Amino acid sequence: MSVVFSKERCMARITFQGQTYECSADEPLLEALNRKGCNLPYGCRAGVCQACMLKATRGTPPATAQVGLEKKLQKKNYFLSCLCRTDSDMEVALPDPADKYHASIVFEKEFLSPSVIRLRSSRPDGFTYQPGQFVNLLQPDLGLARSYSLASTGEDNFLEFHIRLIPGGRMSGWIADTVENGTFIFVSDAMGNCCYNTRYSDSPLLLAGTGTGLAPLYGILRDAIGHGHQKPVELLHGGLNSEGLYYRPELQQLAERHDCFTYRPCVLNGDAPAGGVQGAIDEQLQQLLKSGHDWRIFLCGDSDMVNTMRKLCLAHGIDESDIHTDAFG
Ligand SMILES: Cc1cc2nc3c(=O)[nH]c(=O)nc-3n(C[C@H](O)[C@H](O)[C@H](O)COP(=O)(O)OP(=O)(O)OC[C@H]3O[C@@H](n4cnc5c(N)ncnc54)[C@H](O)[C@@H]3O)c2cc1C
Ligand code: FES
């Protein structure tokens, strides 16, 4: 009898899109509903990116699943399904775009390399952000949301994203195949703290990233230069081969125009790119760390590489608070 009672207490009846599912309180709602085929959007699965946000249209979500959400969203019963373990019955829905998302119109789509697309879209009225922050892009018809970093700066009157095409990837595939000039996309408020701050004006900056990790770094770099940063700024951009090193002319031009800025492309395979080296990005980072500067560090892109580089920085005595990361999950 006690076994049945405890089992019943730990199950919630969750209604989504007209279907009701029995979900265990031992498992995050995101995992439980997706295992049952609901196809809910998600990103980090760790309460950071807010891509998995749902709204309780009946019942109350647990406060632990509302951590980090704006007060106005909490009041409307929004919650993060990756953090939600509950034994209370609820009816839940995908976010109402009007509550959480800004409409933006794509006006330029360009392949920067065979596997990287640059999207430029209108900057919605009242949309504020710091270069290097990220937004969630919502595809309401497919019920998809994914995080993308902002490569644009306050000087640009548009939003710029660099999107890597993932084979079989649902959002990147939709962007590659369907998005065109005139397509509406829906962007969340900007999030994250991997950004330049004028408090860093007396510090040399070390920016390192692989692939589309360049998107936030490009925003941070131009933001620093735009704020008149004079101390050295080093940018390490790593690719598997030289095809992966997009934006080389733009970065070389910036380096020619600004004495403080050095662009260091590096490739794992094939010949060294002009002005760069052949070798692993973490080894290049280690060389720069040996210079003993009092660096402010920004690490972006593939999560494993971001973690590897972060550990290297800590091992070289860089304070945790001087390391800013944007790991793509
Ligand atoms: C804070 C943050 C910022 C981000 N910024 C950017 C950005 O500026 N540019 C960008 O291109 N991406 C960025 N990403 C990654 C992005 O959110 C998506 O995860 C990525 O575009 C894949 O989505 P998808 O729907 O195309 O693939 P999915 O349909 O989600 O995945 C398809 C398959 O590919 C695998 N997969 C998913 N992501 C990757 C990956 N990155 N590398 C290798 N395999 C993968 C999955 O495990 C799955 O097997 C960011 C992620 C986070 C958390
Ligand atoms: S998937 Fe839930 S916050 Fe990122």
Question: Encoding tokens for residue 118?
Answer: 């640059």
Cβ–Cβ < 8 Å for 64, 25? no
Handedness of CA 96, 118, 276, 153 (dihedral sign): negative
Cβ–Cβ < 8 Å for 79, 56? yes
Cβ–Cβ < 8 Å for 287, 261? no
Instruction: Name the domain boundary from 49, 73, 95.
Output: 95
pLDDT of amino acid 3: 37
Mutation choice for ligand 2 from 29, 40, 48, CB with most ligand atoms inside 8 A? 48
Would 193 be classed as within a structural domain?
no
Q: Which residue ranges have their beta carbon within 6 Å of ligand 1?
A: 43-44, 49, 134, 146-149, 162-164, 166, 168-173, 212, 215, 326, 328-329
Q: Which atom of ligand 2 is nearest to the CA of 81?
A: 2
Q: Are residues 84 and 113 in the same domain?
A: no
Q: Are residues 252 and 267 in the same domain?
A: yes
ipTM attached to this prediction: 0.93
Would 61 be classed as within a structural domain?
yes
Q: Which atom of ligand 2 is nearest to the CA of 49?
A: 4
pLDDT of amino acid 5: 40
pLDDT of amino acid 50: 87
Per DSSP, the residues of 42-89 read -SSSSSSS-TTEEEEEES---GGGSTTS-HHHHHTTEEEGGG----S-
Q: Could you give the CA distance from residue 132 to residue 287 in angstroms, rounded to a whole number?
A: 25
Cα 67 to averaged position of ligand 2 atoms, centre (Å): 11
Q: Are residues 153 and 89 in the same domain?
A: no
Q: Are residues 296 and 241 in the same domain?
A: yes
Q: Are residues 256 and 149 in the same domain?
A: no
Q: Which atom of ligand 2 is nearest to the CA of 47?
A: 3
Q: Which residue ranges have their beta carbon within 6 Å of ligand 2?
A: 42-45, 47-52, 80, 82
Mutation choice for ligand 2 from 31, 39, 52, 148, CB with most ligand atoms inside 8 A? 52
What is the phi/psi pair of residue 122, to 5°? -65, 150
Number of domains the chain contains: 3
CATH of the domain at 268: 3.40.50.80
Q: Quick one: which of 150, 262, 272, 167 has its CA closest to 214?
A: 150
Q: Which ligand approaches the C-alpha of residue 303 most closely?
A: 1
Q: Which atom of ligand 1 is nearest to the CA of 147?
A: 17
Q: Are residues 146 and 174 in the same domain?
A: yes
pLDDT of amino acid 96: 82
Q: Are residues 91 and 140 in the same domain?
A: no
pLDDT tens digits for the chain (329 residues)? 333 344 445 899 999 999 999 999 999 999 999 999 998 888 788 888 888 999 999 999 999 999 988 898 999 999 999 999 999 999 999 888 777 789 999 999 999 999 999 999 999 998 999 999 999 998 877 778 899 999 999 889 999 999 999 999 999 999 999 999 999 999 999 988 899 999 999 999 999 999 999 999 999 999 999 999 999 999 999 999 988 899 999 999 999 999 999 999 999 998 888 888 999 999 999 999 998 789 999 999 999 999 999 999 999 999 999 999 999 87
Q: Which ligand approaches the C-alpha of residue 31 most closely?
A: 2
Q: Which domain holds residue 218?
A: 198-327
CATH of the domain at 148: 2.40.30.10
Secondary structure class of 263 (helix, strand, coil): strand
Q: Are residues 66 and 118 in the same domain?
A: no
Residue nearest to atom 26 of ligand 1 (CA): 169
